[in-house]
């Protein structure tokens, strides 16, 4: 089942890349904001609870979709790029086994423990 979920996430990630291609976005935008959500890991300097909340805020697909909708309402391309990238970044992370974080610490996710073979 885990491989099926990873394939689904890979499809979503590739869909985001394809949408960028269709929108004819300069690729440096994608590169610039692709790793941006990972800055949220700095929240772990404040402990597991703060780190998990901040990380999940920047990696939640529902928030990415809300940003995309906001961009359409506001007719703002930059916000659209950010929303698409957040969505794609979250899928990319899940393909690699990084899920939303649990309060126990960074390596504990909704997909299981990072590094542990399930």
Of 105 and 49, more confident: 49
Per-residue pLDDT for 22 more than 60?
yes
- The candidate with the shortest Cα–Cα distance to 16, out of 94, 113, 109, 105, is 94
- Residues spanned by the domain of 33: 2-113
Give pLDDT, residue 62. Answer: 96
* In-domain check, residue 35: yes
Give pLDDT, residue 50. Answer: 93
Residue 116's pLDDT band, with cuts at 50, 70 and 90, is low
Sheet with 105-109: strands ordered across: 101-102, 105-109, 112-113
Q: How many domains does the chain have?
A: 1
* In-domain check, residue 118: no
- Strand spans (E) along the chain: 101-102, 105-109, 112-113
Give pLDDT, residue 118. Answer: 53
Give pLDDT tens digits for 25-75: 888 877 777 788 888 888 999 999 999 999 999 999 999 999 999 999 999
Give pLDDT, residue 27. Answer: 82
* In-domain check, residue 95: yes
Give pLDDT, residue 33. Answer: 75
pTM, entire model: 0.85
Share of the chain above pLDDT 90, in %: 55
Give pLDDT, residue 41. Answer: 87
| Half-sphere exposure at residue 94, Cβ-oriented, CA atoms within 13 angstroms | 27
């Amino acid at each position: 089942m885990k491989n099926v979920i990873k394939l689904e996430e890979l499809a979503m990630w590739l869909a985001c890349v394809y949408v960028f291609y269709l929108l004819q976005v300069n690729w440096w935008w994608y590169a610039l904001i692709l790793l941006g959500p990972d800055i949220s890991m700095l929240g772990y300097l404040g402990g597991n609870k703060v780190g998990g909340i901040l990380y999940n805020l920047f990696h939640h697909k529902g928030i990415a979709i809300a940003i995309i909708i906001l961009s359409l309402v506001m007719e703002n391309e930059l916000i659209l790029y950010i929303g698409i990238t957040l969505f794609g970044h979250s899928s990319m992370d899940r393909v690699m086994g990084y899920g939303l974080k649990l309060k126990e610490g960074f390596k504990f996710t909704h997909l299981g423990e990072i590094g542990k073979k399930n």
